[in-house]
Amino acid sequence: MANDANVLLAACGLYCGACYHYRASFYTTDRLRQEAARRGRLPEGFTCQGCRSDKLYIHPGCAQCEIRACADAKGIVHCGLCADFPCERLQAFQNDGRLHHRDILIELERMRELGTGAWLAAQTQRWQCECGEPYSWYEEICCKCGKPLASYGADPALG
């Protein structure tokens, strides 16, 4: 699955293309150091290639994800295809207080309706500034053109 566009489709309904760990893969060395330091981490291991990537440096939170493991065990690409959708594990994840988790059930429904290819295309567009620069869930200003972004706002995890 590593060469497939689905590497940016997390089993839980998140779009990895808007994750700050994925976006960090494209940062300059200085920006990567700054962002990792801002989050209290080292640059090594801060980047990720997507939930479904086979890269060894996948973000540990995703690599050890019970939701992903469950979907893999059932042979499904995302939880919206599961007979048990929505399960308690997904609902707990949605309600864990992280802003970017709150819409996962809606996004999984959209994936079922649109298909994964169309959903990924819509997410790519959704998480892109009008200048064409992709951005993450919590970036407030475009790093390329300086315009305000339609993100979730400041990351509450950073206090």
Indicate the domain borders of the chain: 5-128
pLDDT for 51:
86
What would you report as the CA-atom Rg of the chain, rounded to the nearest whole angstrom?
A: 15
Which is more confident, 87 or 63? 87
Give the model confidence (pLDDT) of 99-157 as tens digits. Answer: 999 999 999 999 999 999 999 999 999 999 999 999 999 999 999 999 999 999 988 88
